[in-house]
Structure 1
Amino acid sequence: MTVGVQVEQAKALAAAGRLDEALALLIPLAAQEDAPWQALSVQADLLKRAGRLEDSIETSRRLVAVRPQSVPARHNLASTLGDLGRAVEAERVCREAMAIGGDAPETWLVLARALQAQGRFDAAEDAYRQTLARRPGYGDALDDLSQLIWMRTADAEAACAPLDAVIAATPDDPSPRRIKARLLAYAGQAREGYEALTSGPLDAPGELAAAQAVLPLDPRRALEHADRAAVLAGRPIPAIMVTQAECRLALGEAEAALALIEPLRRAEPLDQHVLAFQATAWRMTGDARYRTLYDYDAFVRPYRLETPEGWPTLDAYLADLARALNDLHQLKTHPVGQSLRGGSQTPAPLSESDHPAIRAFFRAVDAPIRAYMAAVGHGDDPLRSRNTGRYRMMGSWSVRLQPHGFHADHIHSRGWLSSACHIELPPAVAGQGREGWLRFGAPPGRADLPPEYYVQPQAGTLVLFPSYMWHGTEPFGGEATRLTLAFDIVPA
């Protein structure tokens, strides 16, 4: 079999969803010292699709060495570096691609994101605009630019300006209206966002976005949009089915929601949103299986951090860590698509930080994570059945809530275990009113299902829990901020 035939066969297997077979076919070929560039290129792409980003980077570096004048090779390497949070390297490789002629909007977008992750917001905003100059309707760039403006200014009108220009030029395209509706919802203007979205024609993704936009305001209308999205899609789409189920739950129709959730659970057994909605439906129907998922005593566990090497006390360490994190909180308000309201979130994965105090944090949490896995053990439920005793990070960030800020109830769709480590706390958390406390078990849109479990935050204490578990925080008063560092992990 020739190299070309092997590569094409691997691509065909991948297109058919047989990713492991495709990689197995390429591994012997790509492992050769003089591996053909075509094999390296496809293998790097398939490794990335499989979530093996470190392996993809290694293969991409080999490809760049073989084809040093290839703009796509450098672009793909930069993109994967960006996905891993290696912003400085991603920027360098982007600029190398541009130096040899790369000028594609995709490369400008990777550069813009790398600059934003480094906190270089003026340069990032300029790079987003350069991206849009090359492709005016580029949805990902519009989304990122408008969100950056929003986080920097807390000015929804200014953030919507790039979107409004595109909407005016292409009124029949629902994509920029979808972005605007989502931004306005997180700016506290959900009805205005819904009206903007529905001011023009909608395709299936637009109907789905309309359902999500109006759900907090009118669940019945949201269901109508979700049902239209399903008809327009013409085939079962998990994201649409999940939204239909969420609408049914908001309407109190738990059995109808379960009819949608159960096939999704079979098809997507690890989907954290589906698990959360199944748990909500079970709670509503009084199903005893609810407690197999929401066993707070077993699954929500606090751990006091040990003082990292190099610091005399935990308090001294936390003071240094707080200074490092506060320096990173340069944005004015919360991002779009996240749970926090009234605060800011760091823009880049903290696990990639070179700051000594931040690096020490990830060494300090290793023992609690391993203790948690040992304590929950193994079983047939969705949490314990995945417990391998090994883990890898899937994201890490810091949130600084301002007074009266809070986390809306949410889950973490990409995690297995999620966390909250409290670094600096306002005096209000010590009171009797549960201000600033972690809360668990309250699904959004169901006022009749209140929180079932609370954890009082303590500085230096890490709380670990399942990613599918609804959680949020109570608002707090006073004048001090609430600083946390959090991460998600998945089994390794």
Structure 2
Amino acid sequence: MKQKIEQAAQLFQAGQPREALEMLQPVTSGAPGMMRGQTLSARCWLALGHRDKALDHLATVAGYVDKAPRPALARANLAQFYAMADEWDTATSILEVAVSQEPDNIELKVKHADMLANAGQWREALMIFEAAVKKFPENASLLRSTAISAQMSKQNTRAVELYTRTMAAGLADKQIYSNLIAALIELGRVDEAHRHAVDWCAAMPADIEAMAFMALLEVEVGNNDVAARWFDFARFVKGHTIAVPEGYDDLDAFNKAIEAVVLGHDRLETPPEDHPTWHHPALRIGPDINNDHSGPVGELEKQMRMAVDKYFAESPNDDNHPFLTTEPRDYEIVAWSAVLDGEGNQKPHIHMSGYLSGCYYVTIPDEVSGSGDDNAGAFEMGRPPEELPFKAEFPVETVKPHEGLMLLFPAFMYHGTVPFKSKQKRICVAFDVIPKQAA
């Protein structure tokens, strides 16, 4: 039986969950108390999208946990599988029983707190984490988890203290810098936030989020000359109307071909409101639009690459600007479509996985591309999101898009769109230049 379970585990790890289930079937039916066989079967069913069948196996395990050598540990493991199935309430309840069985087991308590945090019960998690930190005051991982729970519980002063202790204990990664700076900004302690942004950029010079915070904080603390280098729109924002790709009579014909691909995308949809890409109920996103490198999108990707290579070639770095210093030697392009159905906007945001961001405008309503002073539907750069409570006035650049425009800008620049209303769709293909190897 154990050998079959090991072979099934290898099949699962190799991406063959259905074959693993065939191997496990005689185990789960003949020896239902072998908990590993049941939990591995649950994982296979989850991988195949059959949550109900996965829960049946976990229910079987629940009937055997009290017979395990350490019931509390068995329950803790079972809770993790229920969490994989998004059964957070059940997972949390199981862990509570496990903790009651071994009340002095700090590891179980921390697992319980982690489960509560993953379920969004931040205040309850914080109480458990705080008790654990008293016993292990120099455990960097525990300090970080406690800091995150404090921050999510709106206790920013405590969060800053805990993040600082985490860094003193030797753990200073991207998440810690980002969370610490955000908490300090929320508290109005922008000079401290600025100092940490300087440290972050020094430690991770190619990190786009670090650059974004650095640029914003230079404005907020009043370093106007330095801030001007970051918000040099004339230097860093470049746009041109593309040439007509081969095989098309004119740009209008090419754009109509792109529009047909965009609107025919089988995953073009409005993201859930709790997803980072959600901005407005009228906005639909079509991910990975350039996975198929043929047809009109393949031609568009060629235009993107020509524009990116031209951007790099025409961007001298005589003053050692931090952004240009980290220019990638090689890159890939990840593109997606954005469709605004007659109204809406995108809130200020950045793309932290890219180095350079871009946008190609496919279909633009007359109200947006018109020659009037109204900026409705325009592309806007520089303004930070409302979630960052800055007090300074930020430099802002606005671009009125038109069909055929290819626009490039640094990924660290916050950008969004101005709300508009029209009877027409506003369609663009956005993309990120993802470094393969930093310079």
TM over 0.5: yes
Query: Equivalent residue for 2:433?
Result: 489
Query: Equivalent residue for 2:227?
Result: 290
> Which secondary structure state, in structure 1, belongs to the residue aligned with residue 195 of structure 2?
helix
Q: Deviations over 1:197-250 (max 9, x none)?
A: 335446456555556657xxx6xx334335445557854333123212122224
Give the gaps of 5 or more residues in structure 2: 1-6, 25-36, 59-77, 97-108, 130-142
Query: Equivalent residue for 1:331?
Result: 269
Which has the bigger relative contact order, CA under 8 A and spacing at least 6? 2
Query: Equivalent residue for 2:254?
Result: 317
Q: Which moved more, 1:410-419 or 1:258-267?
A: 258-267
Q: CA deviation at 1:282?
A: 0.9
> Which secondary structure state, in structure 2, belongs to the residue aligned with residue 480 of structure 1?
strand
1:368 aligns with 2:307: yes
Equivalent position amino acid for 1:225 in 2: A
Q: Deviations over 1:55-105 (max 9, x none)?
A: xxxxxxxxxxxxxx99748845x6xxxxxxxxxxxxxx7767777779677
1:249 aligns with 2:185: yes
Query: Equivalent residue for 1:35?
Result: none
Across the aligned residues of Structure 1 and Structure 2, the Cα RMSD in angstroms comes to 3.6
1:237 aligns with 2:177: no
1:419 aligns with 2:344: no
Q: Work out whether residues 144 and 162 of structure 2, in 8 Å CA contact, stay in contact via their aligned partners in 1.
A: no
Q: Deviations over 1:88-127 (max 9, x none)?
A: xxxxx77677777796777767x66xxxxxxxxxxxxx35
Separation of aligned partners in 2, 1:96 and 1:263: 50
Query: Equivalent residue for 2:326?
Result: 386
Equivalent position amino acid for 1:262 in 2: V
Separation of aligned partners in 2, 1:235 and 1:271: 20
Query: Equivalent residue for 2:4?
Result: none
Separation of aligned partners in 2, 1:139 and 1:403: 42
Separation of aligned partners in 2, 1:267 and 1:281: 17
Instruction: Sort the Cα spacing of 1:97 and 1:299 in 2 relative to 1 into closer, same or farther, 3 A.
Output: farther
Equivalent position amino acid for 1:293 in 2: W
Query: Equivalent residue for 2:373?
Result: 432
Separation of aligned partners in 2, 1:435 and 1:224: 42
1:275 aligns with 2:211: yes
1:222 aligns with 2:153: no
Equivalent position amino acid for 2:412 in 1: Y
> Which secondary structure state, in structure 1, belongs to the residue aligned with residue 253 of structure 2?
helix
Q: CA deviation at 1:482?
A: 2.4
Separation of aligned partners in 2, 1:479 and 1:128: 42
Q: How many residues align?
A: 356
Identity value in percent: 20
When normalised by structure 2's length, the TM-score is 0.68
Alignment of 1:165-176 (within 5 A): 166=91, 173-175=112-114
Separation of aligned partners in 2, 1:370 and 1:466: 14
Give the gaps of 5 or more residues in structure 1: 1-68, 79-92, 113-125, 146-161, 182-195
Equivalent position amino acid for 1:346 in 2: G
> Which secondary structure state, in structure 1, belongs to the residue aligned with residue 409 of structure 2?
strand
Answer 1 or 2: which has greater helix percent. 1
Q: CA deviation at 1:454?
A: 1.0
Q: Deviations over 1:252-276 (max 9, x none)?
A: 3221112222222222111111111
Instruction: Sort the Cα spacing of 1:270 and 1:317 in 2 relative to 1 into closer, same or farther, 3 A.
Output: same
When normalised by structure 1's length, the TM-score is 0.61
> Which secondary structure state, in structure 1, belongs to the residue aligned with residue 280 of structure 2?
strand
> Which secondary structure state, in structure 2, belongs to the residue aligned with residue 401 of structure 1?
strand
Q: Work out whether residues 423 and 460 of structure 1, in 8 Å CA contact, stay in contact via their aligned partners in 2.
A: yes
Q: Deviations over 1:345-404 (max 9, x none)?
A: 224x223126622222212212111111111133422222233564322x3222223454
Equivalent position amino acid for 2:421 in 1: G
Query: Equivalent residue for 2:239?
Result: 302
Instruction: Sort the Cα spacing of 1:448 and 1:178 in 2 relative to 1 into closer, same or farther, 3 A.
Output: farther
Q: Work out whether residues 361 and 402 of structure 2, in 8 Å CA contact, stay in contact via their aligned partners in 1.
A: yes
Instruction: Sort the Cα spacing of 1:363 and 1:131 in 2 relative to 1 into closer, same or farther, 3 A.
Output: farther
Q: CA deviation at 1:131?
A: 6.6
Separation of aligned partners in 2, 1:272 and 1:358: 27
